[in-house]
Amino acid sequence: MKFVSRNSNLMVVLKPGLPGSHLTGQSPVTGVYVKFQNGVVDVKEDSIAEMMKKHPGFNIDYIAVEEGIKEEDPYAYYRSETEPVHTTTEIKYGHAEKSVSSPRKTKMPPELENLIKVEASKLASSMVKEMLPNLIREAIASIPPKEGKETGTNVKIDSTKDKKNKKDEAESPTD
């Protein structure tokens, strides 16, 4: 069974361990612990899965994700990364020259991303409606006129002359 946590490195204590004592002759008792890696743990044993479900942190600190159904991590967006941001400082002649830091990942909630996409598509469609007539006029104006008879803005080519010229060229003997 798969469990998902809000925290990246949550450790759940299902049965606490006790250290041994040489003076009293008490042997150590091992405990049962479950450690989440990047907020997810996959428990193979049914007994441990049942203990996880009975733990007071179940549905508060972590939840169970059903296998076979769309396995989705609802906390993946909100979970912080375990690796800190690194800063490298270049030192020359005993002085710090420049510091280079790894970029921070900015997170935006999925709801806000969807809202931005909707608004951007509305803006783009309104801009296309405004710009399209001007673009068409500019495209038509940039087309060079063709040779032939012109009537108004339409250009008509006299195709009968072109056909005669092609026939004459085909019939003319080549030197």
Confidence of residue 139 (pLDDT cuts 50, 70, 90): confident
Is 85 contained in some domain? no
What is the secondary structure of 35-48 as a DSSP string?
E-BTTEEE---HHH
Q: What is the dihedral of CA 101, 105, 106, 111, to 10 degrees?
A: 180
Query: Which tokens sit at 32?
Result: 């049962």
Q: What is the pLDDT of residues 63-122, one digit of tens each?
A: 888 776 666 777 777 777 777 778 888 888 888 888 888 777 777 777 888 999 999 999
State how many domains the chain has. Answer: 2
How far apart, in Å, are the Cα atoms of 12 and each of 4, 64, 67?
A: 12, 14, 21
Is 156 contained in some domain? no
What is the secondary structure of 139-163 as a DSSP string?
HHHHSPPPSSEEETTEEE--HHHHH
Is 165 contained in some domain? no
- Percent of the residues in the chain that have a pLDDT greater than 70, as a whole number: 81
CA separation for the pair 48, 13 (Å, rounded): 11
What average pLDDT does this structure show over 28-34? 91
- How much is the pLDDT for 117? 93
Q: What is the pLDDT of residues 38-66, one digit of tens each?
A: 888 999 999 999 999 999 999 998 988 87
Same domain membership, residue 73 and residue 16: yes
Is 98 contained in some domain? no
Q: For residues 17 and 30, is the Cβ–Cβ distance under 8 A?
A: yes
Same domain membership, residue 12 and residue 67: yes
Is 159 contained in some domain? no
Same domain membership, residue 17 and residue 56: yes
Same domain membership, residue 127 and residue 62: no
| Domain span at 66 | 1-78
Is 64 contained in some domain? yes
Closest by CA position to 80, among listed 8, 164, 20, 141: 8
pTM: 0.50
What average pLDDT does this structure show over 128-145? 86
